[in-house]
Each structure stands twice: as structure tokens, then as C-alpha cells.
Amino acid sequence: MFRILTARHPGETHVALLREGVLDEFYIHRPAAPDGIGDVHVGRVIARVPAMAGAFVAIDDAEGFLPDTGGAATLTEGSYLLVRVTRAAQGGKGPRLTGRLAPDEAVETPAGPVRRLRPGPTPLEELQAAYQDAPVAHGAFPDDVAADIDALATAAFTLHGGMHGTVTPTPALTAIDLDMGAGTGANLPKASAQFAANRDAIPELARQIRLRNLSGAVLIDFAGIPAKRRAALAPTLEAALQSDRLKPRLAGISALGFAEILRPRRRPPLHEVLRGPLAAGLAALREAAATAAQNPATRLALRAPPSVIAALQSHPAALADLAHVSTHPLLLRSDPTLPPERCLIEDARA
């Protein structure tokens, strides 16, 4: 029923979970820039914030938030303690921490300096633990899986019957707007067609939420149905959410007709993973690797904004990975005239 696929690329590994042959979860793991989920640290309290019912704690290369319910209530500034990362940094906020560790995690006395003691599970390790009977295959993804993954880079997606969805992240929540296709339910009365189209789109909608790892508050605006009728979609939506291993909860349908879902925050949402200078640089390295595989004799150059070049230079392992599959080293050309994250793979002789 389940299969796990992994594919190595310069500087990162792509991990996919297939359910009945269909892509169901997708993650990108960057060894030089992991999301930190599950890491155990020696941390130091740098500020108690009673108004927030917690404390800010310095950990290795970050500042996390430790709520009072996670062990901050009795701490004072300057205290050292063992903490585990329960939620990766995302949405402009630092990681969430807990001081409630299992006995096998509390392996050291919490004394300084601040440091990481133990890394958390990678996405592959996490999926293997969750789906212990699932076989794991390594290598290039099948074309249909690769196409599904490529589509995740855009905010829009297609649903059953020609409907469309659009994802709009905000600092407070993620909104998903559904729109009817021109031919949706053409053979049914308008009201029945709109209701049926939204209902039939829900399983794929729930899958898109998983694939994109949308979390926190997720609001769905169904298409063309009066607010008072949308509550009738709740059972179908709740059933679709049951297959999500993070166990999201439908909080209800608001007075304005929005379906309100609360999905636990853990790893960063995919739209954040795919954004930024490092993500742009690694995407360019994937393109360079594919070009080099087709024509090993070609000498390639990467023309990119200075921020992208700097990000790659700060992650030399990614460039080293590319060197293993390319006959010639990649020439880096910094071009401040390019728009942010715009990268060009070109002939190095040009």
C-alpha cells in the first residue's frame, strides 16, 4: 500500500511517500541546513517572558521559544537545560522547544556551553518509523511522481472535475481559495452541481494540504455555495483528513463559510523550503546535474544574484556533490543585475 522513494541531488535529498502508487507526502532534506525537528540541545535561558507564558532559549545557531507548559515556568535567565525541538523555525518565528524529554534523551547534565547533543530524525527516518512495512527505493523518481512534485512549486493546483485551488500563505494562517471550472457539473442543476463539485474535490484538497505540508490554521473558501450550506461538507472533509498522519482537526465552518482546519506545525511548509537564495541555488545545481548527465563534456557556469552565489559558497558540500556527477567544475558567476533567486545555467565558454 505504501512505498517510500528517495532521490539524491546536490546538497539535498528528496523523500516521497506513495500511497497506492500516488504521491501522498513529500519532503526535502538538506544535510547542511536541516530543519532541526527532534534535535536535542543544551540550551540557555536568555529571557523570561511572563506575558507569553514562556521563555526564549538560545540553542545552537538559533533562539527558540520554550512555553511554561514545556518546562519554562521554574527557570531563570542564564539557566542551562536540555531541550528538544518540537517545531521547526517557520513563518518568521524561531523553533518551538520542550524541556519534557524522554529518559533516553536526557543523556547529559544540562551545563554549558550551548550546543546540539543529538540530531533528530530525517524525513526518511521519520517515514520509515511511521510506515515500517513500506519498502524503500533509491534513485530517480518515476515521471508521474516527478511531475506531481514539480507542480508543488506553484500556488495553484487542479482538483476533481476541473475545479482549481490557490494557496495563499499569510503570517497568521494559510488560505485556500477554490474556484469552479467552466465545465464543472454541467449536467446538473446549478446548486447541486456546485455542492457536488466541492464535495468531490475534497479528497484531492486534503492530499494537497499534506503534500505542501500546510500547517497551523488553514482556512478553505469553498466555491459557489452559500455559507449556510457549507456545513454539510464537514463530514466529507473530516473523513478526508483522517488519512493524514499528523491528525489535523476540523474546527468547524465559520459564519462566513470558511472551513477552519488546525494542522499541527512540525516541519516547515513546502513553500518556505522552496523559497530563498539557498533553495534557488540548489534548484540550479539540479539543473546543472541533469545537463551534465546528458552532455558530460559541457563546461557549465551558473549566473546568479550575489545572494545565491553566497548561499552556495556557504554550503560547499552541495558543490562537491555536483562535482561527483560532472566532468568539469561549475563556474560561479555573480550577477547583481539579475532579479532575486533568478539563476541561469549557461555554457562556461560564453
pLDDT digits (tens, 9 = 90+) for 274-310: 999 999 999 999 999 999 999 888 899 999 999 999 9
Percent of the chain exceeding pLDDT 70 equals 97
Residues 267/123, Cβ–Cβ less than 8 Å? yes
What pLDDT, on a 0 to 100 scale, did the predictor assign at position 161?
Answer: 78
Phi, psi of 323 (to 5 degrees): -60, -25
Provide the pLDDT confidence category of residue 189 given band limits of 50, 70 and 90: low
Judge whether 173 and 215 are in contact, CB under 8 Å.
no
pLDDT, one tens digit per residue, over 100-110 is 998 887 777 78
- pLDDT of residue 334 exceeding 90: yes
Q: Is the per-residue pLDDT at 207 higher than 60?
A: yes
Q: What is the pLDDT of residue 180?
A: 86
Q: 54-59 and 62-67 as β-strands: parallel, antiparallel, unpaired?
A: antiparallel
Strand residues in 20-53 grouped as ranges (E)? 22-29, 40-49
CA-wise closest residue to 83 among 46, 43, 118, 119: 43
pLDDT reported for residue 127? 98
Tell me: pLDDT of 225 over 60. Answer: yes
Instruction: Give the pTM.
Output: 0.93
Distance (Å, whole) CA 305 – CA 332 = 10
CA 321 to CA 343: how far, in whole Å?
Answer: 19
State whether the Cα torsion 338-342-346-348 is positive or negative: positive
Answer whether residue 112 shows pLDDT above 70. yes
Residue 186 has pLDDT above 70, yes or no: no
Residue whose C-alpha cell is 523570561: 48
> How far is CA 71 from each of CA 62, 66, 82, 144, rounded to the nearest angstrom?
19, 7, 10, 46
| Mean pLDDT of all residues in 125-149 | 97
Asked if the model's pLDDT at residue 184 lies above 90, the reply is no
The region of weakest confidence among 13-27, 250-264, 314-328 is 314-328
| Model confidence band, residue 182 (pLDDT cutoffs 50, 70, 90) | low
Q: Where are the alpha helices (DSSP H) in 122-189?
A: 123-130, 143-151
Closest CA to 300 of 314, 286, 315: 286
Q: Write out the DSSP string of 245-283.
A: TT--EEEEE-TTSEEEEEE---SPPHHHHT-SHHHHHHH
Judge whether residue 246 has pLDDT over 70: yes
Q: Between these two residues, 282 and 188, which has the higher pLDDT value?
A: 282
In percent, the amount of the chain with pLDDT more than 90 equals 85
Q: What is the mean pLDDT of residues 314-332?
A: 93
Question: Edge to edge, what strands does the sheet with 300-304 contain?
Answer: 331-334, 300-304, 344-347
345 forms bridges with which residues in the sheet? 302
Least confident segment among 43-47, 105-109, 135-139, 148-152: 105-109
55 close to 44: Cβ distance less than 8 angstroms: no
The cell numbers describing 102, all together, are 524522554
Report whether pLDDT(61) > 70. yes
State yes or no: pLDDT of 187 exceeds 70: no
Burial of 342 (C-beta count, 10 Å sphere; 0-12/13-18/19+): middle
Neighbours of 307 (CB within 10 A): 17
Output the nine-digit C-alpha cell for 182. 467552466
Q: CB–CB of 267/88 below 8 Å?
A: yes
pLDDT grade, residue 160 (50/70/90)? confident
